[in-house]
């Protein structure tokens, strides 16, 4: 599948997508661990953001971040 991370501003809903990451695993039944490193990630401005995980163009989960 294809994984993507997106940074979404909570107030406007604007999304900043990161490059896609190809995900391959051997066993579709077992849980797989995944680590994605973000280099040079700059937040456009202060505020509340959500870091979202997308898999094959479907939203999976998000994490709230507050940039002060």
CB 8 within 8 A of CB 15: yes
DSSP states of 13-25: --EEEPPPEE---
Q: What is the pLDDT of residue 47?
A: 94
Q: What is the pLDDT of residue 35?
A: 78
Confidence of residue 9 (pLDDT cuts 50, 70, 90): very high
**Model confidence, pTM:** 0.75
64 alpha carbon, distance to own chain's centre: 11
Around 36, how many Cα atoms within 13 Å sit in the side-chain half-sphere? 17
User: Is 21 or 67 the better-scoring residue by pLDDT?
Assistant: 67
Residue-wise pLDDT tens digits, 28-67: 788 877 777 777 778 888 999 999 999 899 999 999 999 9
């Amino acid at each position: 599948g294809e994984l993507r991370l997106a940074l979404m501003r909570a107030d406007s809903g604007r999304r900043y997508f990161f490059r896609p990451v190809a995900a391959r695993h051997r066993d579709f039944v077992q849980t797989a661990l995944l680590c994605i490193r973000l280099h040079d990630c700059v937040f456009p401005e202060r505020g509340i953001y959500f870091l979202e995980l997308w898999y094959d163009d479907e939203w999976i989960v998000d994490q709230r971040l507050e940039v002060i």
